[in-house]
């Protein structure tokens, strides 16, 4: 089941949809134009049902196969939202929205799933039901959780769920997938240190929050090296440190923010516990007070074994074994598809985007060369998971 010839015929049309999405990027849940186009096309294709407003602005298309004796229902998910980045590509279809662009390829993800939906409504060569899930607000808005909380899985009877993301630096159309962790849990922390300010020439009369904060930043780095198994991956990065306005004044407070990443639940728990203990103890040791806000965001993107095996076998059929990596190194970035994988068994696969700029870079662009591979993967997944007798 190699690249499907029909997508050679549809390539220009699908690329055109992507270019339109790219020209008109929208943020988080404000994807009204994109969602409207998606819904209209799904209706034009002949989906059996099209639902809008799922998880605020999500769209769902239902496609029933020629038969439904298997009773199987699988979901395919694409994200629709863009990023608050000013584009620097000079493409003819470059963003027309100031300060916004599709810097993560969600324009391509949505276009490929639309292409798959068009093909599946034409052929229906499967026994079961395919659910096309177009999700808003992946970029920091937890749109996947919003759709789940709005009854996505139950309303459409989804039994398994699958996702795909492009990856720069891998040959366009190559795939990578495995069982277990694919992407990290992402947590945020805010640390507010309250000391006693004063003249910079008389530090003995103060409780210096800059010094306290500096010890916190330095000490937090020892948590990964001394509390996490060296065979595991974890990250603690303090990315914001603000304090003071004058060079001869010790300020009364300091403000720090950062991100915490882990690839399993136990490590995630360890990091939070040790951060809380260290931050509190360090502030107390210097006579300062501290407020720590620790926010858990996206969980670990954890593929299920059977579904990861299915995804791998389908990708191998599409592109051959030489273009499939069955043991990719997990990425410490986060992905809210993790919540869908907590709600239902499924798998998340990487697809190469070629030698492009990196994700979230102002010169990034999704590769149109990848479109036939992504569309063929989606269709082949449906036809393999729910084969006709």
Catalytic residue among 138, 160, 264, 365: 138
Residue listed under structure tokens 């055109």: 16
**Whole-angstrom distance, CA of residue 283 vs CA of residue 281:** 6
Backbone angles phi, psi at 182, to 5 degrees: -110, -35
304 labelled ligand-binding:
no
SS3 333: coil
Within 8 A by CB and 6+ apart from 193, the residues are: 209, 212, 213, 216, 253, 254, 255, 256, 283, 288, 289, 290
165 labelled ligand-binding:
yes
Q: Is 81 a catalytic residue?
A: yes
Give counts: helices (H), strands (E), the chain. Answer: 10, 16
**Whole-angstrom distance, CA of residue 358 vs CA of residue 139:** 16
User: What is each CA distance from 72 to 134, 177, 243, in whole angstroms?
Assistant: 20, 23, 57
What token pair was written down for 11? 């390539």
Catalytic residue among 81, 107, 127, 187: 81
19 labelled ligand-binding:
no
204 labelled ligand-binding:
no
SS3 340: helix
**Whole-angstrom distance, CA of residue 152 vs CA of residue 147:** 6
Strands (E), the chain: 49-54, 58-64, 73-79, 129-135, 160-167, 175-176, 180-183, 185-194, 198-199, 234-242, 249-250, 253-262, 289-296, 301-303, 324-325, 346-352
47 labelled ligand-binding:
no
Q: Is 138 a catalytic residue?
A: yes
**Whole-angstrom distance, CA of residue 386 vs CA of residue 152:** 20
Within 8 A by CB and 6+ apart from 200, the residues are: 247, 248, 249, 250
Q: Residues 124, 64: contact at Cβ < 8 Å?
A: yes
Binding residues for Mn(2+): 104, 106, 139, 165, 360
Binding residues: 104, 106, 139, 165, 360
Active site residues: 81, 138
């Amino acid at each position: 089941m190699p690249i499907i010839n029909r997508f050679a015929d549809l390539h220009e049309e699908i690329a055109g949809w992507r270019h339109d999405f790219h020209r008109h990027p929208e943020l988080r849940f404000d994807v009204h134009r994109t969602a409207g186009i998606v819904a209209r096309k799904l209706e034009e294709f002949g989906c059996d049902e099209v639902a809008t407003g799922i998880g605020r602005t999500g769209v769902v298309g239902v496609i029933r196969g020629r038969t439904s004796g298997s009773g199987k229902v699988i979901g395919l998910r694409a994200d629709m939202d863009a990023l608050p980045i000013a584009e620097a590509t000079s493409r003819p279809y470059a963003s027309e929205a100031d300060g916004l662009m599709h810097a993560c390829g969600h324009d391509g993800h949505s276009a490929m799933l639309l292409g798959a939906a068009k093909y599946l409504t034409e052929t229906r060569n499967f026994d079961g039901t395919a659910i096309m899930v177009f999700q808003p607000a992946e970029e920091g808005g937890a749109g996947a959780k919003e759709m789940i909380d709005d009854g996505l899985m139950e309303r459409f009877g989804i039994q398994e769920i699958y996702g795909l993301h492009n990856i720069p630096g891998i040959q366009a159309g190559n795939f990578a997938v495995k069982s277990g962790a694919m992407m990290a849990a992402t947590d945020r922390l805010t640390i507010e240190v309250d000391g006693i300010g004063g003249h910079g020439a008389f530090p003995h009369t103060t409780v210096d929050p800059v010094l306290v904060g500096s010890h916190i930043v330095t000490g937090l780095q020892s948590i990964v090296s001394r509390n996490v198994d060296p065979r595991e991956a974890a990250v603690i990065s303090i990315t914001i440190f603000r304090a003071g306005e004058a060079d001869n004044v010790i300020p009364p407070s300091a403000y720090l923010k950062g991100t915490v990443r882990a690839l399993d639940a136990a490590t995630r728990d360890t990091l939070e516990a040790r951060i809380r203990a260290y931050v509190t103890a360090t502030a107390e040791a210097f006579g300062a007070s501290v407020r720590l806000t620790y926010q858990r965001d996206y969980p670990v993107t954890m593929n299920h074994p059977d579904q990861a095996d299915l995804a791998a076998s389908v990708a191998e059929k599409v592109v051959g074994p030489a273009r499939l990596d069955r043991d990719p190194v997990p990425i410490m970035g986060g992905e809210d598809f993790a919540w869908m994988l907590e709600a239902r068994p499924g798998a998340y696969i990487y697809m190469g985007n070629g030698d492009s700029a990196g994700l979230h870079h102002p010169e990034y662009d999704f590769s149109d060369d990848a479109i036939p591979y992504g569309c063929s993967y989606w269709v082949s997944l449906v036809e393999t998971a729910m084969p006709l007798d």
